[in-house]
Amino acid sequence: MSEHIVSVRVYVTIFLLLLLGTGLTVAAAFVEFPGKLNTVVALTIAVTKATFVVLYFMHLRYSSRLVWVIVASALFWMAILFALTFSDYLTRGWISVGY
Amino acid sequence: MDATTEQLHGHRSLQHHFENMEQQREAGTLGMWVFLVTEIMFFGGMFLAYTLYRSAYPQAFASASNHLDITLGALNTGVLIFSSFTMAMAVYFTQTGKPRPQVICLVLTLLLGLTFLGIKAVEYHDKYNDHLIPGRLIPGRPFGPEVAQEGDHDPHKLHLLPGATVRQVELFYWIYFAMTGMHALHMIIGAGLLTFLLIFSLKGRFDPEYHSPVEVIGLYWHFVDIIWIFLFPLLYLLGRHLEHV
């Protein structure tokens, strides 16, 4: 029975990091970054927070390789969903077809 | 029971189609992750719709976003993160065989979840007051916010950034209510699941050997938290800097 039990210290650390991330993302929203950097900053913080939750609160770091594959498949299908949709929508103005 | 009899007869919660408790627990966790992948795809469709219309109407999305209450949104993010922490602690206390703190953590998680829903209800009511419920979802109260003129700082009026129209803002609110509404529905289901966990915890059904339900519902709860971690910046924060330039 080898189940990894995450320590209280790790849980508290992750909790504080998540609160810090929330504070950072609110603060960053009021700062004017050049170009579309505001979105990049917000999403980077969100992805980091989500990664902490998945790895520690959801124990992915200590889960079997099979669970890792399942999680990776979600990211893979999401990537397909976004990549194929935007390969259409974002490229519509690229060529003039004459009508 | 000593270890040998335990191995011979198995734990009382061991289903006959599993070899042992570890296999049973692993199967449960794996099954939950597969379900969560379908949930990610479900919300993924809405995130796609959001991204698409935001890229089409950036000014309108920023204007609509600025109307949302950032304080309540941030507060709810904190509440949900706190509830994720207490949920993780509930799993910890089950794994280490401490029933009392386990029950306390489950109660805290449930209360924080309900707090989130309460704050969300206040926000929805604010949107109702400002005529921001899209389409004709509310009979006799169609979408129709008052648009603020130059220099008017009334927070209940819609402040449009240059190039934004009211119809485009309505589109934002369709997406806002669809996404936060589905998220809230998941929270309500989660609260139901937590109530179930609480009842069975009080009956002493879970122990370090058998705690899959706590673990698996914990995974669901954290997933719902992650959805909000993305919803908060995407819905509430995207146009703030444009207001202050």
Q: Which domains does chain B have, with CATH numbers?
A: 20-243 (1.20.120.80)
Let me know if residue A99 belongs to a domain: no
Under the banding of pLDDT at 50, 70 and 90, the label for residue B3 is: low
Q: Is residue A96 part of a domain?
A: no
Task: Give the mutation candidate from B19, B30, B37, B236 for the A interface (greatest A CB count, under 10 A).
Answer: B37
pTM of the model as a whole: 0.93
Interface residue A5 vs chain B (CB under 8 A): yes
Q: At what angle do helices B21-56 and B166-202 cross, to 10 degrees?
A: 170
Domain of A67?
8-89
For the residues B169-193, what does the mean pLDDT come to? 98
Q: Residue A59 falls within a domain, yes or no?
A: yes
Question: CA–CA separation, B182 vs B178, rounded Å?
Answer: 6
H-helix or E-strand spanning residue A9: helix A8-29
- Contact (CB<8Å) B226/A5: no
pLDDT at A10: 97
Q: What angle do CA B139, B141, B147 make, to 5 degrees?
A: 155
Q: How far is A94 from chain B (nearest CA, A)?
A: 15
- Residue B185, CA atoms < 13 Å, CB-side half-sphere: 8
Mutation pick from A2, A4, A22, A73 vs chain B, by most beta carbons of B within 10 Å, is A22
Q: How many domains does chain A have?
A: 1
In a domain, A53, yes or no: yes
Q: How far apart are CA B55 and CA B65, in angstroms?
A: 14
DSSP conformation letters of chain B: --HHHHHHH--TT--TTSSSHHHHHHHHHHHHHHHHHHHHHHHHHHHHHHHHHHHH-HHHHHHHHHHS-HHHHHHHHHHHHHHHHHHHHHHHHHHTT-HHHHHHHHHHHHHHHHHHHHHHHHHHHHHHHTT-S-TTSSTT--S-PPBPPTT---TTSB-PPTT--HHHHHHHHHHHHHHHHHHHHHHHHHHHHHHHHHHHHHTT---SS--HHHHHHHHHHHHHHHHHHHHIIIIISTTHHHH--
Q: How far apart are CA B139 and CA B141, in angstroms?
A: 5
What confidence tens digit (pLDDT) does each residue in B61-74 have? Answer: 999 999 999 999 99
Return the ∠ at Cα B80 (arms to B79 and B82), rounded to 5°.
65
Q: Do B95 and A19 touch (CB under 8 A)?
A: no
A41 within domain boundaries: yes
How many Cβ atoms from other residues are within 10 Å of residue B112's Cβ? Answer: 20
| Residues 6 or more apart in contact with residue B75 via CB below 8 angstroms | B119
**How many contacts, defined by CB atoms under 8 Å, are there between A and B?**
130
Asked if the Cβ–Cβ distance from B41 to A78 is below 8 Å, we say: yes
Q: What percent of chain B has pLDDT over 90?
A: 81
Confidence check: pLDDT of B5 > 90: no
Instruction: Inform me whether the C-beta atom of residue A79 falls under 8 Å from chain B C-beta atoms.
Output: no
Identity of the residue in A14, A49, A59 whose CB atom sits nearest the CB atom of B229: A49
pLDDT of residue B7: 56
| Chain A 35-64, residues with CB within 8 Å of chain B CB atoms | 38-39, 42-43, 45-46, 49-50, 53-54, 56-59, 63-64
Helices and strands (DSSP H and E) totals, chain A: 3, 0
CA distance A4 to chain B (A): 10
Q: What is the pLDDT of residues B99-126, one digit of tens each?
A: 999 999 999 999 999 999 999 999 999 9
Q: What is the CA radius of gyration of chain A?
A: 19
Contact between B117 and B184 under an 8 Å Cβ cutoff? The reply is yes
- Residue A98 domain-assigned? no
A52 within domain boundaries: yes
Who among A31, A53, A70 is closest to B84 (CB)? A53
* ipTM above 0.95 for this complex: no
How far apart are alpha carbons B108 and B211 in whole angstroms? 19
Phi, psi of B71 (to 5 degrees): -65, -50
Q: Does A84 touch chain B (CB under 8 A)?
A: no
Residues of chain B positioned with their CB less than 8 A from the CB of A15:
81-82, 84-85
Average pLDDT, chain B: 93
Alpha-carbon distance A21 to nearest alpha carbon in chain B (angstroms) = 10
User: Does the pLDDT of residue B244 top 80, yes or no?
Assistant: no
Sign of CA dihedral B146, B126, A26, A38: negative
Reported as a single tens digit per residue, the pLDDT across B31-49 is 999 999 999 999 999 999 9
Beta bridge pairs of residue B158:
B147
Beta bridge partners of B147: B158
Asked if B74 contacts A28 with a C-beta cutoff of 8 angstroms, the reply is no
Q: How far apart are CA B57 and CA B54, in angstroms?
A: 5
pLDDT in tens, A16-65: 999 999 999 999 999 999 988 999 999 999 999 999 999 999 999 999 99
Q: What's the distance, Cα to Cα, between the start and end of chain B in Å?
A: 71
The predicted pLDDT at position B10 comes to: 74
Is A97 within the bounds of a domain? no
pLDDT tens profile A56-96 = 999 999 999 999 999 999 999 999 999 999 999 888 878 77
